[in-house]
Amino acid sequence: MKDAFFALADRLCGEAASGETLLLGLAAERSDFVRFNHAKVRQAGSVTQRFLSVRLVRARRQAAATIALAGGEENLAQDLAAARAALAQVRAALADLPEDPWLLVAEHPESTAAERRGKLPQAEEVVREVVAAAQGRDFVGAYAAGTIHRGFANSLGQRNWHAVDSFNLDWSLYLRGGKAVKSGYAGFEWDAPTLAAKLEGAAAELALVALPSRAIAPGEYRAYLAPRALEELAALLCWGGFSARAHATRQSPLLRMAHGETLSTKITLVENTADGVGPRFQHDGFVKPPAVTLLAAGRLGDPLVSPRSAREYGLATNAANAGESPEALDMAPGALAPGEVVRALDTGLHIGNLWYLNYSDRPAGRITGMTRFATFWVERGRIVAPVDPMRFDDSIYRMLGANLLDLTRNRELLLDTGTYGERSTGTMRLPGALLGALRLTL
């Protein structure tokens, strides 16, 4: 796929006229998809797709089009004809377009190549192992796996390539009446014993979910947020929290941190592109650094700066995406051992998942949402009963600041489950968080 893309790029870039910069992007994948219900396969299939974006820049104007490619060197002539037609279309459109004041594309070629090959069994083997491990349980979920390819080329001679193998099995064990345990298994090397262990752990939690529920009154309680619960908080913070544009326009939920407010010194967040699924380059041709420290020991670090924000606000870009949101977020681990979580919690809430999160007061970093699935009441270091969903409303400066007691030593790799149009390349690697207090409102 790489050779075919670069051969096409060489031909097409040679047709850029004087004063034009041509930028080409490839988004391709070969993916297997399987849906499960009642521990049986309900739908299975595979997708092979290749999309080429053709973008032309001239005199501070730009136009772009996207086409599907047949792929392969044997189809080069067919793909080249389609790409030439797209180029002619965007070239004709340029004259009617206004100048773009914040347009910024890379002018100094920086070529890269990276391939991360995993160990992914055939989909049929995965199905056999999942069905066998989930036998006798109401297992529902979706499996997506395969190779994701990204490529970039421009008429200045830059060539970038990225290929990575990954898998993501997102699943729940269902009990009845909205009671379930949600879990998942994702990574780069499939391991059947790891899946079996995760399923056994979820089955043990499901047995606890079946116990009579405990009603608790609104108030403040010690709480443990499992990595998947913390993922929801982190995802909301990614909505403007680390964006240079959001800070410049005073719309960031972490705006108070720019004026002296801090989180716990235990909180360090890094955009760890080097260990993520996504490529190190983006569609303007800029190459990302291996890592950007967003929060360092509870203090605001470097923002994510897209090329457009760099142009608008006079900053240096670090090749962030247009939304300036993290794509490979890593939180540093703490000191709490996995087996010590319940004992350290002592009495309070053990929360497996959160959902429906939103800002109740964005400038103040205040967040509201619901507990979901496998939330338990713990007394004296022992889980005694499940707790029905409740609403919380609390500040990020309390949850990950004054009230953060510790983070777990182990972290979980969480891949974005999005597959609309293409498989997402977003990842998070997060620990669990032990809080001295979480405010429940109803």
pLDDT above 90 (res 177): no
- Would you place residue 266 in the very low, low, confident or very high pLDDT band (cuts 50, 70, 90)? very high
Shared domain check, 221 and 182: no
pLDDT above 90 (res 308): yes
- Would you place residue 73 in the very low, low, confident or very high pLDDT band (cuts 50, 70, 90)? confident
**Number of structural domains found in the chain:** 2
Of 282, 273, 132, the C-alpha closest to 193 is: 132
Burial of 38 (0-12, 13-18, 19+ CB in 10 A): exposed
Shared domain check, 147 and 221: no
Interval 307-323 mean pLDDT:
97
What is the percent of the chain where pLDDT is above 90? 97
What is the percent of the chain where pLDDT is above 70? 100
CA 181 to chain centre: 22
- Would you place residue 287 in the very low, low, confident or very high pLDDT band (cuts 50, 70, 90)? very high
Q: Kindly list the distances between the CA atom of residue 428 and the CA atoms of 24, 235, 424, in Å, as whole numbers in the listed order.
A: 28, 9, 12
- Mean of all residue pLDDT scores within the chain: 96
pLDDT at 169: 98
List the CATH number of the domain containing 66: 3.30.2290.10
Contacts of 236 (CB under 8 A, 6+ apart): 253, 357, 358, 359, 367
pLDDT above 90 (res 225): yes
CB 428 within 8 A of CB 234: yes
**What pTM value is reported for the model?**
0.94
**Containing domain of residue 165, as a range?**
2-208
Pick the last residue of a domain from 158, 182, 208: 208
Interval 28-37 mean pLDDT:
97
Shared domain check, 224 and 177: no
Shared domain check, 327 and 187: no
Shared domain check, 376 and 350: yes
Interval 153-177 mean pLDDT:
96
Of 188, 195, 191, the C-alpha closest to 429 is: 188
- As a whole number of angstroms, the distance between CA 185 and CA 143 comes to 9
Collapsed DSSP state (helix, strand, coil) of residue 279? coil
Interval 329-338 mean pLDDT:
96
- As a whole number of angstroms, the distance between CA 184 and CA 207 comes to 18
Shared domain check, 231 and 158: no
- As a whole number of angstroms, the distance between CA 415 and CA 418 comes to 9
Pick the last residue of a domain from 178, 208, 238: 208
pLDDT at 115: 95
- As a whole number of angstroms, the distance between CA 10 and CA 8 comes to 6
Interval 17-44 mean pLDDT:
97
Q: What is the DSSP string of 249-278?
A: TT--TTGGGGGT----TT--EEE-GGGSSS
Residue ranges in 288-361 assigned as alpha helix (H): 307-313, 341-345
- Would you place residue 234 in the very low, low, confident or very high pLDDT band (cuts 50, 70, 90)? very high
Residue ranges in 179-306 assigned as alpha helix (H): 192-209, 227-237, 244-248
pLDDT at 79: 96
Q: Kindly list the distances between the CA atom of residue 411 and the CA atoms of 260, 306, 331, in Å, as whole numbers in the listed order.
A: 29, 29, 8
Provide the CB-side half-sphere exposure for 300 (13 A, CA): 19
Shared domain check, 221 and 165: no
CB 442 within 8 A of CB 388: no
Residue ranges in 98-191 assigned as alpha helix (H): 123-133
Neighbouring CB atoms inside 10 A of 134's CB total: 23
pLDDT at 72: 85
Interval 393-402 mean pLDDT:
97
CB 76 within 8 A of CB 8: yes
Shared domain check, 226 and 156: no
Pick the last residue of a domain from 186, 208, 230: 208
Shared domain check, 37 and 76: yes
Provide the CB-side half-sphere exposure for 80 (13 A, CA): 17
Shared domain check, 226 and 190: no
Shared domain check, 274 and 242: yes
pLDDT above 90 (res 126): yes
Tens-place pLDDT, residues 92-124: 999 899 999 999 999 999 999 999 999 999 999
pLDDT at 338: 85
Shared domain check, 350 and 313: yes
